[in-house]
Amino acid sequence: MRTPLVMGNWKLNGTKESVTALVKALVQPANDNSKVEVAVCAPAIFIGMVEELAKGSALKYGSEDVDVHTSGAYTGENSPAMIKEFGCKYAIVGHSERRAYHNETDAVVAAKFKAAQDAGLIPVLCIGESLEQFEAGKSNEVCETQLKAVIDACGIAAFNNAVIAYEPIWAIGTGKTATPEIAQDVHANIRKLLAKYDADVASKVQILYGGSCNAKTAYDLFKQPDIDGGLVGGASLKAPDFTTIIESATKTL
Ligand code: PGA
């Protein structure tokens, strides 16, 4: 039985004031829903604040990205060790917005995955197809390519200590949530691919759904056998909505 994981991805949002209010409001739901793992991934500049605010609670946190380098002349970047030092458990890698706006290739994503893991962080590997690819029936093919790039570079055993997030690009921020059937189908295929390498890894890895996962759609998605929770953008910025999503995960148990 896999533990559900509900993770917020704040993206480029927040102020000191809103972050304080949001984390304070999430501590209780995270503590109350103890059979579910709850985390928020914050812009790097807010991670220290989240560390203080979440201290002693069940609320975990992570970064939205990580650099491949450990130190040196890489202006603007945050190393995995820096992120780890501030108590992060997770680091998102390969989000479609990073792939699209920062030209992150599968090779770069695999290197980030490895760098995060080497520093003791759990990488949350995002994969997913564009609308065009979805309409062409290529969802599984695209996910397999993106996933294989990381398996080839890091080995299947690396997924003993990683999370996968299936995030169809056409569903991100559009309000067009994938139907539970569509998402389940892709999740099952992801697990099938992993099982070809190692059945035990495949059965244990958490696979999250992301893309307009919200207070209304979360429960039906999380009920699916191969969906182990969600990576939530917009709806994670509103404490009541994110709380409902956390509770939806508990309800599936
Ligand atoms: P969304 O974003 O929930 O706002 O669609 C999800 C994500 O990009 O992780």
242 inside domain: no
Distance 119 CA to ligand 1 centre (A): 26
CA of 172 to the centre of ligand 1 (A): 5
Closest to 109 (Cα-Cα) out of 98, 120, 122, 121: 98
- Give the pLDDT score at 1: 80
- Assess if residue 164 is contained within a domain: yes
List all residues whose CB is within 6 A of at least one atom of ligand 1. 9, 167, 172-173, 210-213, 231-235
Residue 253 domain-assigned (yes or no): no
**Domain containing 39 — which CATH number?**
3.20.20.70
Residue 218 lies in a domain: yes
Whether 245 is covered by a domain: the verdict is no
Q: Give the tens place of pLDDT for each residue, 35-64.
A: 999 999 999 999 999 999 999 999 999 999
Residue in 64, 97, 167, 187 annotated catalytic:
167
pTM above 0.95, yes or no: yes
Q: Which atom of ligand 1 is nearest to the CA of 92?
A: 9
Ligand 1 atom 1: residue of nearest CA = 233
Residue ranges for the chain with pLDDT beneath 70: none
User: What one-letter code names the amino acid at 247?
Assistant: E
54 DSSP assignment? H
Ligand 1 atom nearest 236 alpha carbon: 3
By alpha-carbon position, which residue is closest to atom 9 of ligand 1? 233
Full residue range of the structural domain in which residue 202 is found: 5-26+35-235
Dist. CA 73 → ligand 1 center (Å)? 32
Assigned domain for 95 exists: yes
At 69-107, the pLDDT tens digits run 999 999 999 999 999 999 999 999 999 999 999 999 999
| Residue 135 CB neighbour total at 10 angstroms | 11
If one counts the domains in the chain, the total is: 1
State in Å: Cα 233 to ligand 1 middle.
Answer: 4
Q: Whose CA is nearest to atom 6 of ligand 1?
A: 233
Measured in whole angstroms, the distance separating CA 84 from the mean position of its chain's CA atoms is 17
Task: Confirm whether 125 is domain-assigned.
Answer: yes
- 95 classed as catalytic: yes
- Asked whether 142 and 249 are in contact (CB, 8 A), the reply is no
Instruction: Please state, as a whole number, how many other Cβ atoms lie within 10 Å of the Cβ of residue 190.
Output: 22
Ligand 1 atom closest to residue 9's alpha carbon, by position in its atom list? 9
CA distance 59 to 38: 6
Question: Ligand 1 atom closest to Cα of 214?
Answer: 3
In a domain? residue 244 = no
Q: Looking at residue 207, what is its pLDDT?
A: 99
- Return the pLDDT at 187: 98
